[in-house]
């Protein structure tokens, strides 16, 4: 019996590590055909080879989500290779955490470009395909940042709350033509902290993660749950975090 995931064609950004990698591996194991995009081509190649060795179907493309044409090429690859696109998972994200007064304007712009514009580019790349097909599923990986506002996370949470708002608007606008899901993880055991330039904040985030982080596979399972539902069931908003996280 089909599991609601088998044979679906699923594109994933930020797929070279963490939540994206875990999601790709889980979905492929359940019979999905996965199309992986990220900047680190060597890692993508290894992930695809592992999936194929385990009997799954996968392909990849080196992309930068801050370039609209790159994201469009990812969805085009899905259609070219597998004939359609069923799910677009906008997972790529980055954080630079400073107090506002420290004026990390470069960090602000980086987060806006990756977290917000990158997600919008993913939506823009998928929707024309979904409109032509008459169905599809957008999944945006957001964050618990924004649900709870804390110092140093103002702009990061701002980009994530922008995505949260866009996700809900898109869900309402779809009127059943496509499904829309927001996934908001808390502390997850990924490379998230390693990209933070602020050493004090990076160390604090990493210490918290070391103490409580859930595995990326837990988030992947939540994503799979949303995908496997019947087409008339839309899992709108999922918050998944360690049980001890405040």
Who's near 36: CB < 8 A, 6+ residues apart?
Answer: 11, 12, 15, 16, 20, 24, 44, 47, 48, 58, 59, 60, 61
The number of beta carbons lying within 10 Å of the beta carbon of residue 39 is 15
Residue 156 appears among annotated catalytic residues = yes
Residue carrying structure tokens 């960090």: 107
How far apart, in whole angstroms, are the C-alpha atoms of residue 19 and residue 13? 10
Q: According to DSSP H, which parts of the chain are helical? A: 18-29, 41-53, 68-82, 105-111, 118-133, 154-174, 199-212, 216-228
Which of 98, 121, 156, 187 does the annotation list as catalytic?
Answer: 156
Q: What is the C-alpha separation between 230 and 128, in angstroms, rounded?
A: 22
Tokens representing residue 13 in the block: 């950004």
Q: Tell me how far apart the alpha carbons of residues 164 and 146 are, in angstroms, rounded to a whole number.
A: 9
How would DSSP label each residue in 99-119? -GGG--HHHHHHHIIIIIIHH
DSSP state of 170: H
Q: Which residues are catalytic?
A: 156
């Amino acid at each position: 019996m089909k599991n609601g995931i088998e044979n679906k064609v699923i594109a994933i950004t930020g797929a070279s590590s963490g939540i994206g990698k875990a999601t790709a591996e889980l979905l492929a194991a359940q019979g999905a055909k996965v199309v992986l995009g990220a900047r680190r081509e060597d890692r993508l190649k290894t992930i695809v080879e592992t999936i194929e060795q385990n009997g799954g179907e996968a392909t990849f493309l080196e992309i930068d989500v801050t370039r609209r044409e790159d994201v469009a090429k990812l969805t085009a690859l899905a259609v070219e290779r597998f004939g359609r696109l069923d799910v677009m998972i906008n997972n790529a994200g980055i954080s630079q955490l400073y107090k506002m007064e420290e004026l990390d304007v470069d960090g602000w712009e980086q987060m806006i470009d990756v977290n917000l514009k990158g997600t919008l580019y993913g939506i823009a790349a998928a929707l024309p395909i979904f409109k032509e097909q008459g169905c599809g599923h957008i999944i945006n990986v957001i964050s618990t940042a924004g649900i709870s506002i804390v110092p140093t996370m103002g702009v990061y949470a701002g980009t994530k709350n922008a995505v949260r708002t866009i996700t809900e608007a898109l869900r309402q606008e779809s009127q059943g033509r496509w499904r829309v899901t927001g996934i908001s993880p808390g502390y997850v055991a990924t490379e998230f902290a390693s990209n933070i330039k602020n050493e004090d904040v990076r160390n604090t985030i990493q210490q918290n993660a070391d103490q409580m982080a859930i595995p990326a596979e837990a988030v992947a399972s939540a994503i799979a749950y949303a995908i496997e539902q019947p087409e008339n069931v839309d899992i709108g908003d999922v918050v998944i975090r360690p049980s001890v996280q405040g």
